[in-house]
Amino acid sequence: MSETATTIRVVIPLTLRKRNGRPKILPPEDAGLPGSQGQDPHVLRAIARAWKWRRQLEDGEASTLQDIAGKEGVSERYIGRMIRLAYLAPEVLKALVVKRRLPAISINEMVAVAKLPWGEQTGRVFG
């Protein structure tokens, strides 16, 4: 019996993208892995907090952004900026939260996109 040196090389085409300043390795689109294209938990958390703050204002639990900032232990400026996520277009929110589609931009960029008319937001958020 003779032994031959054989090497098996496995190449997996992965994509490295930055998500909110952190590197994230994404598998190829056709990989078919469950959860491979799942939502970034930071995006879901930011949207949930924005909706929570919006409900607090609408229900009268808090009368100003300063009240919310005091409860949350963050600055009023941060609350004012991040609450804009609760005013994203309904189709953008549905794609992010229900369909778990990954945005092509960061959370901070989504905050800026929330100022745009609803018709323009989808193209900006998902590229």
Cα–Cα distance, 71 to 66 (Å, whole number): 9
- pLDDT per position as a tens digit, 4-43: 778 888 887 878 877 767 787 776 766 555 544 567 788 9
Q: Are 51 and 83 in contact, with CB atoms under 8 Å apart?
A: no
Q: Which pLDDT belongs to residue 61?
A: 94
Helices marked H in 1-127: 41-59, 65-72, 76-82, 90-93, 107-113, 118-126
What integer pLDDT is reported at residue 22 of this predicted model?
78
Distance between CA atoms of residues 50 and 4, nearest Å? 62
Enter the DSSP assignment of 59.
Answer: H
pLDDT confidence of residue 12: 75
What does the pLDDT look like over 33-57, one tens digit per residue?
A: 554 456 778 899 999 999 999 999 9
Average pLDDT, the chain: 86
Q: pTM value?
A: 0.69
Per-residue pLDDT tens digits for 72-90: 999 999 999 999 999 999 9
Distance CA 17, CA 15 (A): 6
CB atoms within 10 A of CB 5: 4
d(Cα 110, Cα 93) in Å, to the nearest integer? 11
